[in-house]
Structure 1
Amino acid sequence: MSTSTSTAAADRTLVTALRERLQLDTGEAVSLVETHISWVLLTSRLAYKLKKPVYLGFVDFSTLAARKHFCEEEVRLNRRLAPSLYIGVVAVCGSAQAPHLGEGDPIEFAVCMRRFSEDALLQRLVPAGRLELDRLEQFAHRLASFHGRAQIAAPESEFATPDQVGRPVVDALARLRVDAGARPTRDLQTWIFEQRKALRTAWFARQRSGAVRECHGDLHLANVVLIDDQLTAFDCIEFDPALRWIDVMSDVAFLTMDLEAHGRRDLAFRFLDAYLQHSGDYAGMQVLRFYEVYRALVRALVGRFRVRAGAAQPGGPDYLACATRLARMPNSAPRLMLTHGLSGSGKSTMAAALLAVAGAIRIRSDVERKRLFGLEPHERSIDHPTNIYSREATERTFARLAECARTALQAGYPVIVDAAFLRRDERLLFRALAAQLHVPFSILRCRAGEADLRRRIVAREAQGRDPSEATLDVLERQLATQEPLDPGECAAVLDVATDAPVDVDALGARWLALSLPPITRRPAGWSAS
């Protein structure tokens, strides 16, 4: 018997004996789950995860000291997002034939966790239709906060440089072709190589801006669980810093891609919308699609290996097809829509519903105005030392909205700018932007009766959960000072009466069917500045 075979047999003996000991101690059945790098023993309340003594190139658990270190790292890193789930590292003592948890000379180490039902995993909740949208959006907010607090990679580090970002994607393509027998399309390969060239400047800018941080690194649907009434990410990357010190958008892309792969593009864009509202990282839209394709290729590769090992679950997503789909031009060409309407007319509600249908990026004035002055979206401005609704503050706000819209449009996404747009000069700024970028321009005009407007504003104030700070007094001023749409603007209007049910799918289809007129005329007063 070879040394490696002897070692493997001893390890299997240890795991089997520890399972039997746990069954004896608890008086209940203990199940075993095995992956290529770990064994997990499951009691009714707890999970014990032991790392296999393997060296696989990307991971080195070959020594007891290394396994102890990475158990400790796993607990430390995962407690950032799942503190209640990770109990700690426990020593396995005794012998391989008669192991026990507790005091003595350690022969192995295990990560101890709270056990949860697999039905609570996001990969089970989504196909079953049991995921509540509010919980997904709250998770997006927590992830954005986590990224905001995470340690920033040193500017001189190699993390997330263009070469480091591009190399794993090319490697995944090669391994899919050779090791896994898959055949990425020529268009997909061409797109990847073109994007590696086109995004070099953006990747350097992302690194300099502090977007490269110590993230989760493995944020797919099987690593997010509903526990204690909230979605919680667990099982982050602990064994390879390069897979964890990444652009925050690479973390986001894993989840948006996986939702897309599971047929829930609507949830992907609602999650992305909630993340962007909290983080303000619209610059990340330049690189998001590349990271989504990369994440899809990695999952395709993992899936192929599982098929070969006989461990694949039937009916899972076709990640290679997802990568190919994402790498094509966006499903709908970039286009710009403004909302228009009085406070309480349902602009934000309609924009949120429409972005999910159309796969669009929303930029919300109430949120970006507060961000400029250091306020959170739901924070009230009454105690702020500066009047954030002054004319100067409003000009800064609309300049910010235009900057974010330009970035998202140039990245290839449909964009909805969510604001009242009751002044003609504010509308003109964005009409000019659409003309400059040669994208279709439209206005979503939301209307409701004055009684409904007042009722909604009062209810919104009472709830205190919306970024808008509009009051009945604000509504009265709007009614008195609003500037009507001119004939050119009226030609671009999509009208919605929000005091009756709205067919959002049909509305989205109408918007996405719009194209540029044969000759794009610049509106009067247009300026490239």
Structure 2
Amino acid sequence: MSTPADACARLVEALRRLLARYAGGPVELVETHISRILLTPAEAYKLKKPLRLPFADFSTPAARRHFCEEELRLNRRFAPALYLDVLPVCGSVEAPRLSGDGEAIDWVLRMRRFPAGSEFDALARSGALAALDVDRFAHRLARFQAEAPLAAPDSAWGTPVQVAQTIAGVFDALAPLLDDAQAVRLRRLRAWVDARQPALAALWSARHAAGWVREGHGDLHLANVVRWGGEVTAFDCIEFSPDLRWIDTLADAAFFAMDLRAHGRAGLAWRFLDTYLTDTGDYGGLAVLRPYEIYRALVREMAGRMRDAQGAPPAARPDYLACAEALAAPPQPRLLITHGLSGSGKSTVAAALLQAAGAVRLRSDVERKRLFGLPALADSGAQGIDIYTPEATRRTFERLREGARTALEAGYMVIVDAAFLRRRERDAFQALARERGVPFSILHCHAGVPQLRERVQHRRAAGGDPSEADLRVLARQQETAEPLASD
């Protein structure tokens, strides 16, 4: 007796033959745990499998049409040029037609095809994923989230109960797919999450109230980000469940960062987070970031094993269970501050170190501007705003100290990127490290005066950097700097 799954498989093969005639050549088939995609040289045709799962119901043609249309609508927020239309499949399973007269027996989403290997997971595996790709995507995600609709104050999305249920659902769904030894590892991870639930519940509630729950992507792993048409863009967001799409903004960022780690690109993961946090200023959310990353790693492990259970051809993939375990055992936090005149290389050193060692960075140039509602690259002087008064400096260092405290409490290594030319500024952060019981270090950066002057002038002329230091600022620093001492 033929099942809906059998009929779907026959329909896909018939459509494959039909599209091959149109295209004049072979049509590739790509399969996920919930969809099949037929690839012609120029286009992609995506059909949803007739499944009823705990998180999605595609069991009827009407449901598949609805979710194809939702997929088109929602993904045009990210990649309007990539998503074309939804087409009815008419005729019969054995002799289908795309569009035309007659009752639709199924529905397909039609997209433009991008070159094979341009997805970020493929670029990461080949070593072709560049730091610029990650920076551009971090900026794009931050902009998208800033403009995304906020969940209503009385919405259940992103509340402690809803988030806890979603995470518990992944543990429950994954457990039967593991062998005994893996199941023991999963139980340890669940205990790690459960032990933090009371504190997380308070954080999730506060973030919901503060407007951090928005309509996002929901499935932001590397295979769903592509370098295409001179841009980097997300695609293939969650269309089948508002619960999985209306989420904390950091839950989307965590997915992308986690998958960089899982693909062996931890340095790029930290670079992504640095750029993303610089844009969003969401350092207050760091305490939920690691739990979100662990949850996202388990989502990917679950998706891969569900695909295996459906009999899909074996595919190499990262060990997401091991990735989750590594995230649950981070190194000891520590606090580092930079020290040096403008142009001495502090930000360059901090950027390299945060990628190599894995750290959160706070930049005085950025946070000073944020206090005045200015973007990182804005020219405060051109807008007639003096952001370098003694009071502004005091408030900037207070903001840096509170941000560092938040990151340390969340268990992260922290680099505070500022000149720290006055002893009282350095002492305040050394006291913070002592209070938190973490190691404290000063990264001293030095260059000769001619090189300092050259770097400062070049940076001001080139633009594209948050620092507004010029030669007058450099001269004033040289006159007033208080040197480091042994204590």
Map 1:247-266; keep pairs closer than 5 Å.
247-266=248-267
**Could you say what secondary structure the match of 2:126 adopts?**
coil
Q: Residue 161 of structure 2: SS of its match in structure 1?
A: helix
TM-fit CA distance, 1:348: 0.3
Question: Counterpart amino acid of 1:423?
Answer: R
Is the Cα–Cα contact under 8 Å of residues 173 and 184 in structure 1 kept in the other structure?
Answer: no
2-structure distance, mates of 1:384, 1:162: 42
Contact 2:33 2:306 in 1 (8 A): no
- How many Å apart are 1:7 and its aligned residue? 4.1
Aligned match of 1:405:
404
CA contact (8 A) 1:218 1:235 kept: yes
Counterparts of 1:234 and 1:6, CA distance in 2 = 31
Q: How many Å separate the matches in 2 of 1:305 and 1:10? A: 20
Aligned equivalents of 1:23 and 1:462: distance in 2?
Answer: 55
Specify the SS of the correspondent of 2:415: strand
Distance in 2 between residues matched to 1:266 and 1:284, nearest whole Å: 21
**2:307 aligns to what?**
306
Take 2:44 and 2:265, find their aligned partners in 1: how far apart are those partners? 31
Partners of 1:9 and 1:309 in 2: CA distance:
12
Residues 389, 429 of structure 1: CA spacing in aligned structure 2 closer, same or farther, 3 A cutoff?
A: same
> Which residues in structure 2 correspond to 1:167-186 (within 5 Å)?
167-181=165-179, 182-185=182-185
- Structure 1 segment 154-303 matched on structure 2, within 5 A: 154-181=152-179, 182-185=182-185, 187-303=188-304
Q: State the AA in 1 paired with 2:439.
A: P
Size of the alignment, in residue pairs? 483
Residues in 1 aligned to 2:39 and 2:170: alpha-carbon distance in whole angstroms: 33
CA drift of 1:148 comes to 1.0
What aligned pairs does 1:277-426 form with structure 2 within 5 A after superposition? 277-311=278-312, 313-328=314-329, 330-331=330-331, 333-426=332-425
Give, in whole Å, the separation in 2 of the partners of 1:29 and 1:166: 46
Matched, 1:92 2:93: no
Preserved CA contact (<8 Å) 1:344 1:453: yes
Query: 2:279 & 2:140 partners in 1: Cα distance?
Result: 9
The 2-side partners of 1:369 and 1:384 are apart by 15
SS at match of 2:56: coil
The alpha-carbon deviation at position 109 of structure 1 amounts to 2.2
Q: Structure 1, residues 215-234: CA drift from partner, whole Å, max 9, x if none?
A: 11101111111112332111
Name the SS of the counterpart of 1:118 in structure 2: coil
TM-score, with normalisation over the residues of structure 2?
0.94
Q: Give 1:484 deviation, angstroms.
A: 1.7
Does the aligned pair in 2 maintain the 1:169–1:297 contact within 8 Å?
A: no
Query: TM-score normalized by structure 1?
Result: 0.87
Q: Give aligned-pair identity as a percent.
A: 55
The answer as to 2:127 corresponding to 1:129 is: yes
Q: 2:63: which partner in 1?
A: 66
Shift in CA distance, 317/52, structure 1 to aligned 2, threshold 3 Å: closer
Deviation at 1:58, TM superposition (A): 1.6
Which residue in the other structure is 1:456 paired with? 455
- Kept after mapping to 2: 8 A contact 1:370/1:388: yes
Q: How many angstroms apart in 2 are the aligned matches of 1:148 and 1:453?
A: 37
Shift of 1:6: 5.2
User: 1:315, 1:99 → 2: CA distance?
Assistant: 33
Distance in 2 (alpha carbons) for counterparts of 1:97 and 1:306 = 26
CA distance in 1, matches of 2:311, 2:102: 37
**Residue type of the alignment partner of 1:350:** V
CA distance in 2, matches of 1:210, 1:216: 16
Aligned-partner Cα distance in 2 for 1:172–1:52: 21
Name whichever of 344-353 and 473-482 sits farther off.
473-482
Assess, with a 3 A threshold, how the Cα gap between structure 1 residues 312 and 450 changes in structure 2: closer, same or farther.
farther
Structure 1 CA distance for aligned equivalents of residues 100 and 469 of structure 2: 62
Corresponding residue of 1:515: none
Aligned AA for 2:61? Answer: L
- Aligned equivalents of 2:154, 2:482: Cα separation in 1: 52
User: How far apart are residue 103 of structure 1 and its match?
Assistant: 4.0
Q: Out of 17, 22, 25, which is 1:25 matched to?
A: 22
Q: Which stretch of the first structure deviates more once superposed, 389-398 or 289-298?
A: 389-398
